[in-house]
Amino acid sequence: MQTAPAFKAKKRRPVNLTIRQDIIEEAKGLKLNASKAAEAGLIKAVRQEKERLWRSENALAIKAHNTRVEETGTLLTPTWSKD
């Protein structure tokens, strides 16, 4: 699994987690590293929440931009799209 540069080479520390018994047993049966799987899930959750927050914080600007594009088109037209 490839991780984002922001999460690479960071010091690890032990934490306590509560995980459903059936899931942890299945993971162990598949010889999965529960710590790495939990870390990967947290990385994904953090990215998703940051994206959600950014979209929420920038909703007005995004709406204004989309309205302007609908009304006046894009500021630049790629040369490959000209006929």
Chain segment 16-45, per-residue pLDDT in tens: 999 999 999 999 999 999 999 999 999 999
Closest CA to 37 of 26, 52, 49, 48: 26
Q: Give yes or no for residue 4 having a pLDDT over 70.
A: no
Q: Give yes or no for residue 64 having a pLDDT over 70.
A: yes
> Greater confidence, 58 or 8?
58
Q: Give yes or no for residue 3 having a pLDDT over 60.
A: no
